[in-house]
Amino acid sequence: MSTDSVPKWRRIAARVITALAFLFVLFALVAPNELSKLSPWSILQIPLEGLVGVALVLVLPPKPRRIAAVVLGSLLGILLIWKLFDMGFYTTLARPFDPVFDWSFLGPGFEFLAGAIGQGGAVAAAIGISILAVVLVVLMALSAMRLSRVVAGRPTAATRALAVLGVVWVAAAAFGQPFASHSAAALAYDHARQVGSSLQDSNAYNAEASVDAFRDVPGSDLLTGLRGKDVIITFVESYGQVAIQDPELSPAIDSVLDAGTTKLRAAGFESKSAFITSSTSGGGSWLAHSTLQSGVLINNQKRYDTFVGSDRFTLSQAFKRAGWKTVGVVPQNMKPWPEGKVYGYDSYYDSHTSGYKGKNFFYAQMPDQYTLSAFQRNERAKTDRKPVMAEIDLVSSHTPFVPLPEMVDWNAVGDGSIFIPQAENGTKPEEVWNDAGKTRAAYAKSIQYSLNSLISYVQTYGDDNLVVVFLGDHQPAPVITGDDATRDVPVTIVAKDPAVLERTASWGWHDGLNPGQEAPVWPMQDFRDRFLTSFGPHPPTR
């Protein structure tokens, strides 16, 4: 059939489809894997991989050409999906997707989505995303086949275009011009190296975990500097360095910390603060918790799974061996947590066993004030008891930061039903998450609430035998921190007994709840050993 006999609309439609196929393939080849770097200019590039593909089409016979188009198109579709995963991980966790370890984030992501739109909606979304992934691969293969037919049907024009673009690419690459791209190949190579490194990480972890100076220390020689004290280690969700150093966010949060220092000092408490470099950023709180407790860097799911299946000596086990009752307070856990046995808790409180009768605040199952109140009632208010060591997770400052509870009188907290109107009438996530400025403001307010809850708890229930260590688990997502943020989080120790803080003199931490910019920075995995050393029988001298 001659082209003259083909209806004009069909010829136009064919050209449009070809153009769309070209743009689709071009996008997959040259688009960056970070959403913040995506722009029209980032697409206006000459991809080396595309030139190689055209050359391959021109030299292959018809059948091998079709096979190559399908295979390479499918691989390019998979690479595009990988880029989309990278975009999501850079946006939320400030790092690319790791195909070896990061499937574990799908479960928490699904649960978060279920909390937002319901179980049925989350299932529908998961199915839709799975179908979309298949469609992308199929469409990319079909696009590659269509473009290969166009190139093969016009060999002379294609050869001339290839020669011209090849010369332009070489010249641009020689002078470092950005439109000479080989990003697809570079990204594939980087990911291949990443996979190889991830697969070898188990050996590195085993070597690190095999070294433990405290594993066999008898209880009588552990934590002698804290005998008789209730010790609370509290993680404040997303309490990162940005909270106290960002010029837009920090003034209100610094005010809370500075006022808190004054309030606690008036109640007889002193405090020291510094920074700790978390093992994660933007999410994955369990990686930070396990790193602090184990004294080993745990920055991926494989390391975490290995840790929880091992007999690694944890900070809470050290307290237990030394005679403390150990308690875990994880208000966000809604499912059985058998792996938690690695921490050696004598008592464990989750969303079902904390006695909360109020409503959840979107993600947070209960307000931080209730979490602390329930812990006080269930553990520290008891008479004739052993000293308590507890790890408590405060989650009111978790994404999406709204609705946010308000403080009530501690005597009115009760079973938490007093918070129901606050949960029902508070700001909805959709009211802030369509605007980056509102999101950052909501984050700052949530950190203020969590810190105020903790400070007020110490004021209300603190005594001579209370020691509190509180820190962030990780920095918030890049929408809050911006790009290229550190993984540093504030850490503070609070005590009324001056002998406790005297033991920390060698740490060099700054006075008060608010660490200065020049405060020391420790790797999070160093905290366990430094803490056990300082509060052991032979603390370091100044």
State yes or no: pLDDT of 132 exceeds 50: yes
| Element housing 122 (H / E) | helix 119-153
Q: Which of 58-72, 228-242, 330-344 tops mean pLDDT? A: 228-242
State yes or no: pLDDT of 387 exceeds 50: yes
Residue with the bigger pLDDT between 128 and 185: it is: 128
Distance between CA atoms of residues 22 and 26, nearest Å: 6
- Angle, alpha carbons 106-110-116 (nearest 5°): 145
Residue with the bigger pLDDT between 4 and 380: it is: 380
* 3-state SS assignment for residue 111: helix
Please identify which residue in the block is written with the tokens 């070294």.
211
State yes or no: pLDDT of 512 exceeds 70: yes
Its sign, for the CA torsion 308, 310, 315, 319, is positive
pLDDT score for 101: 75
User: In the predicted model, what is the mean pLDDT of residues 194-216?
Assistant: 84
- Six token digits for residue 25: 């393939």
- Six token digits for residue 251: 């003034």
- Angle, alpha carbons 226-312-501 (nearest 5°): 20
Strand partners, 388: 325
- Six token digits for residue 524: 């999070």
Give the confidence band of 539 by pLDDT, cuts at 50, 70, 90: low
pLDDT score for 116: 58
Please identify which residue in the block is written with the tokens 């469409």.
139
Is the model's pTM score more than 0.75? yes
User: In the predicted model, what is the mean pLDDT of residues 170-179?
Assistant: 73
Strand partners, 490: 275
Distances (CA, A) of 227 to 95, 369, 500, 503: 42, 27, 10, 13
pLDDT score for 541: 47
Closest by CA to 43, choosing from 204, 181, 161, is 181
- Six token digits for residue 31: 């688009």
pLDDT score for 192: 72
The structural domains of the chain, ordered by start, are 3-199 (no CATH), 218-325+352-388+400-534 (3.40.720)
Q: Which 8-state DSSP code applies to residue 361?
A: B
pLDDT score for 103: 73
494 backbone dihedrals φ, ψ, rounded to 5° = -125, 135
Closest by CA to 397, choosing from 442, 437, 333, is 442
Residue with the bigger pLDDT between 368 and 155: it is: 368
State yes or no: pLDDT of 317 exceeds 60: yes
Distance between CA atoms of residues 254 and 139, nearest Å: 52
Alpha-helix runs per DSSP H in 378-435: 420-425
Please identify which residue in the block is written with the tokens 């989309």.
84
Distance between CA atoms of residues 57 and 323, nearest Å: 74
pLDDT score for 542: 39
- Six token digits for residue 28: 């997959």
Distance between CA atoms of residues 392 and 395, nearest Å: 10
Q: What is the pLDDT of residues 90-113, one digit of tens each?
A: 877 777 888 777 777 777 666 666
Strand partners, 471: 235, 491
Distance between CA atoms of residues 541 and 503, nearest Å: 8
Give the confidence band of 314 by pLDDT, cuts at 50, 70, 90: very high
